[in-house]
Chains A and B, each alone.
Chain A
């Protein structure tokens, strides 16, 4: 019995790592390749999760939609929804330095959270949306968990493969050129603003897909399901630690950080109840401190971006 429990736990962890890996890949398109600071990852994730849930779940008198569409439609809807929210934000903010994008994306995430908490016909109120179908959900528990894990990994690999192709294509080289020297790229006739918008929207769509994968895994969602700031921050630290600009680095970072994060949760759960809540905040503090240390001592991450001609754009200038 114990071994089955262990296997179930490992599958759960693996699925979460896969979902966070996809989030980190999405962020890599925005930050790693294009240099855009998205601080509202959780917002795009939530849009994807809710949209896919509403498209595929059975109807309920308490909320709208519930169309029982195929799961694949839910996933595509999630990507389209997240992209649709990213587009106007990008249009307004990408003309300026990324500081503005950061505050605007924080704002978007907050507004999405407000809407979900306020509009009960949309989010099903405090009970949330339940009965979200899961592919292979009809199988026996362990098998179903494992099958979904395999599906998430397959999606992760597909996203990875598609992004690798996209980034080695002229589009990827152009994006990096824009990131590294905007003026030079503009002088070569590249439409900087438009390319940035493409990259921002693409990254957001991938984040929406991760949200959809999450909601079908959990089979239910409430507005309080994830802490927006912590989720966003975890993805950031995954990408920075793994190596911005490197897709394999993003996945490696997701593995390491999720293991550290959930192991530390495992440890703090063993503590007596009165210190356990405090220990939760100590964990947040330490993860924040970790970011500072990585930024200072290894800004290029564990797997630095591969490049023939230059070092990481995060490294100090050589002159």
Chain B
């Protein structure tokens, strides 16, 4: 039983937490700005490599360089919005979706030019798992879970209690009505991109530190993140967290049933099933 938990449940929860961080960003954009953001995985990759850049250039430890990378990626996300997405706002949303697919490719190729395509790591040395009453946890796994918990709690509190958080929820519910009530949609959009960029960097960083840094990692993880966002209910932050954990666990457990190369197809199957059976997701989100 302990072995089962150590080999399947713990890795599932860790990867699920990483998916959750990515899925929150996707669900916020889907809910508030109303389009599927297909550059999200590559935004996460970029954030992860920015953290690597900060580590090598300034010599901070990886975990200390993460906040810097989060700020940089937040600015980058907003910059991309200003440069490429904003002028498409008045047109059908699907054009923004298409633009984002191109942005994803552009981000990926910038990372590939700057850092090369060979896998990289934040640091050398083997992190040994420690035993907690039989549960084997590595320090980086504990840190990943703690970081996810802290970010999700902060975000939920922000959305629930702060003025700007309420404005974000209002715009998510009905942008026109929100504007009539004096909500500045432009500022909410800017705030959304900052939050989304920072979270994307965090998810990319955690993905990189728990496995290795590859230029394709964000793109490959994006399908799982989207599935998590839809599973939880589009626009629902708590849904994205639950969805992320479910997808992460399902992927790790899938190897018990199907050959391991098909692990990454699990998310796709779940996505189709949820669209077929309950498109609004577990937490009753939007259906666009």
Contacts and interface: CB of A to CB of B under 8 A. Distances in A.
A104 B271 contact: yes
Nearest to A93: B275
Contact of B106 (A93, A106, A118, A288): A288
Nearest to B80: A292
A288 B102 contact: yes
Interface string A114-138: 1001100000000000000000000
B97 A37 contact: yes
Given A233-B105, A285-B106, A103 B226 contact: yes
Nearest to A232: B101
A92 B276 contact: yes
Contacts of B103: 288, 292
A281 B261 contact: no
A105 B117 CA distance: 26
Contacts of A84: none
A317 interface: yes
Interface stretch (B86-94, B119-127, B132-140): B86-94
A317 B89 CA distance: 11
Interface size class, chain B: 35 or more
A100 B275 contact: yes
A103 B26 CA distance: 12
A297 to B, nearest CB: 10
B7 interface: no
Contact of B223 (A110, A278, A289, A316): A110
A62 B196 CA distance: 48
B75 interface: no
B159 to A, nearest CB: 23
Contacts of B112: 278, 281
Nearest to A275: B113
B231 to A, nearest CB: 12
A256 interface: no
Interface of A: 35, 37, 39, 89, 92-93, 95-100, 102-104, 106-108, 110-111, 114, 117-118, 229-230, 233, 236, 240, 277-278, 281-282, 284-285, 287-289, 291-292, 295-296, 299, 313-317
15 contacts: A92-B272, A96-B275, A104-B272, A106-B38, A107-B267, A118-B262, A229-B219, A233-B101, A240-B98, A281-B110, A285-B105, A291-B99, A296-B84, A313-B92, A316-B90
